[in-house]
Structure 1
Amino acid sequence: MVDHKLIKQSVKLLKDWLEKQAYFKRKDYSDTFFEKLLVITKGSVERAKSRYERHCTLKTIWPQYFTPMDIDLLRKDFEDYNSVLLPEVTEEGCRVSLSRFNEHIILTPDLFTRFIKLVVNMCEYAIAHDYPHGFYIILDHRYINLLELVAFATRNFTPLQHCITILLDGYGMRVKGIHIVTPSKAADALVTFLKQLLTAKLSGRIHVHKDTDTLFAHVPKSILPRELGGDGPTLTEMQESFLQELCTKEHEEWMNEARRATIDESMKPKDYFEDSIGMPGSFRTLSVD
């Protein structure tokens, strides 16, 4: 049973704490924002404080990822890959992120940077519209050369680390499962690479599916697109609908407000950055709830 009185007390504690911290540049949040922050941190006020500090720090050091999307540029990028939050959630209220790389894709650092920006926009969209109960990540790699993908990821390790840090450390997304769909024997190489970035707990949530049939045991067939054997709309239809959502004036205004959530480094406490995230450029084992 939800203790509404305790939630209100916790929200007040967070708002009072934030108001007293001079180094935060944004403090004008609704009670709903703090309620969602408490959901992410399982009701812990102290963990909520830490999560918000990390979130603002990442926006300060990597501002290039936290910008609204250009719908025309996204449509051009989607000739090379598709990435969307499915319109329906699972029975337990989890969001499903689906990404598919097309066989003719030419992997470049610029394309990857824009992909990270899309991941950030997806996270912000989820915060704006959902109470976050978790994420399932589906990677449809049936049409891409996995060895080329692993080689590219190895060469671009730093931005990939940024992406995972933003997702897990910055937004505190609870990843319930990572599902890779591919018949390729090179799947083992991809899994081995991913395990270098993730904790043992999250690494244990990686699943490889040679076809889509075994995927249905984890993600309902009813909400998946037809391209994955699901009963939902086509991926193209889902993608266009989601693009329209990301490019509304409402979402653009949300992103512009969200970008203000940074820190004034001249006013931050001594050793703040080292204590909350780690030294810039260092490798840090990421945790997951």
Structure 2
Amino acid sequence: MDSPPPYNKLLKLKPDSFEVTRKELDLDKPGRMKEAVDILDAWVQKQNHFRKKDFNKYYLETTLIGSKGSIEKAKRVLDKMCTLRSLLPQFFGDFNCKKDFGNLFDIVTPIVLPTLTEEHYRICWMKIHDKQYEQAQFMDFYRYYIIAGDYMKTHDYTTGFRIVADFSESNVMDFVTKSNLVEMRQALTIYMEGYGMRVKGIHIITPSKLVDALVTLLKQILNPKIAGRLFIHKTVEDIYKYVPQDLLPVEYGGKEKPMQEILDDWLDVLSSEEHMSYMREINCAVTDESCRNTDTFNEHYAGMPGTFRSLSVD
């Protein structure tokens, strides 16, 4: 792949996104990325336990980008994502974002901002509203970002992510007490280890004195490296140091269109027949564990957070 994906209004790339991102990973020399993708593809074809082997080249390239250019790490990421689809089927499915997530968008407005930062970071922003939370809404939230994640795997090109959660008008303690720690840990495993999401910072906006309870919750499920990138901000203005104000929606003093309009754009695309058809295809990327070396499976998965040995898989 030598040119950016077709233009889409959801995820704008900079003119030099490919050049800068590849150079950071020492994959900018002519033919270097193609060679790496071809090696990764050849490896996929040899994996007897993979039920799907026809990953498109852009998917393989963004997997390499999320793996910091390491072919060996990209192999592990692909294997892990296919395995997680098999082990945690409740997170994946044939979902229509507009119709199947009930009242999820009453409690949260989850968006991915269109414009990259100067460092070529993508910003995931969520506004949590002052509502009573229901357990089912948490799982729908995780599913929504999985569907969005698969869209980004074939349309985006970024060096990393900043995640912003605005709790400034919400009940932090209600969120903490309603959260299922195991499900949250499993979802984060999917995002970070299955999609290879390179998290540059997690930013929480809230003036609440109860934020310590939320931080304690998150530190239980984040690895120490990512936990060290957790930042608490009392006001929106505090975050401008990390996220340029101009890139934010108008509600936050930025020049981007309102959050609801951005969300509506995402829902239109993610609920389109084109993307739903793609999701049905990519969700076939599971594993047949009868064809895998058992010792290798136990070494890499049985001891993961959440202890998959204790999971009941249909």
- Determine if contact 1:142/1:181 at 8 Å carries over to the other structure: yes
Q: Within 5 Å, which residues of 2 pair with 1:33-72? A: 33-67=59-93, 68-72=95-99
1:255 is matched with which residue? 279
| Contact 1:53–1:276 under 8 Å retained in 2 | no
In structure 2, the partner of 1:4 is 30
Contact 1:273–1:279 (8 Å) recurs in 2: no
1:72 corresponds to which letter in structure 2? K
Identify the residue that residue 223 of structure 2 maps to in structure 1.
199
Q: Structure 1, residues 164-194: CA drift from partner, whole Å, max 9, x if none?
A: 1111111110011111111111112211221
Kindly state the Cα deviation for residue 75 of structure 1 after the two structures are TM-superposed: 7.0
Q: Distance in 2 between matches of 1:31 and 1:190?
A: 39
2:118 maps to which of 82, 91, 96: 91
1:252 Cα deviation (Å)? 0.9
* Aligned mates of 2:205, 2:54 — CA distance in 1: 42
1:129 to 2:155 alignment? yes
- The aligned amino acid for 1:23 is H
CA contact (8 A) 2:50 2:287 kept: yes
- Check whether the contact 1:69–1:118 (CA below 8 A) recurs between aligned residues: no
CA distance in 2, matches of 1:109, 1:231: 35
Q: In 1, are the aligned partners of 2:64 and 2:70 still within 8 Å (CA)?
A: yes
The CA distance in 2 between the partners of 1:178 and 1:238, in whole Å, is 21
Q: Which residue does the alignment assign to 1:272? A: 296
In terms of mean alpha carbon deviation, does 53-62 or 11-20 score higher?
11-20
Percent of aligned positions that are identical: 34
Distance 2:287 2:61 in 1: 22
Q: Which amino acid aligns with 1:128?
A: T
1:178 counterpart SS class: strand
Other structure's SS at 2:79 match: helix
CA distance in 2, matches of 1:247, 1:210: 35
Q: Which SS does the other structure have where 1:88 is aligned?
A: coil
Residue 261 of structure 2 corresponds to 237
CA RMSD, Structure 1 to Structure 2 (Å):
1.7
**Structure 1: which 5+ residue stretches go unaligned?**
284-289
Separation in structure 2 between the aligned mates of residue 73 and residue 50 of structure 1, nearest angstrom: 32
Deviates more, 1:254-263 or 1:193-202: 193-202
1:111 paired to 2:154 = no
Matched-pair contact (CA < 8 Å) for 2:250–2:256: yes
SS at match of 2:123: strand
Distance 2:204 2:252 in 1: 12
Matched, 1:221 2:252: no
Equivalent residues of 2:124, 2:162 under 8 A apart: yes
Matched, 1:101 2:115: no
For the residue of structure 2 that corresponds to 1:255, the secondary structure is helix
Gaps of 5+ in 2: 1-22, 309-314
Instruction: Give the residue type in structure 2 aligned to 1:166.
Output: I
Scaled by the length of structure 1, what TM-score is found? Answer: 0.91
Contact 2:62/2:154, CA 8 A, preserved across alignment: no
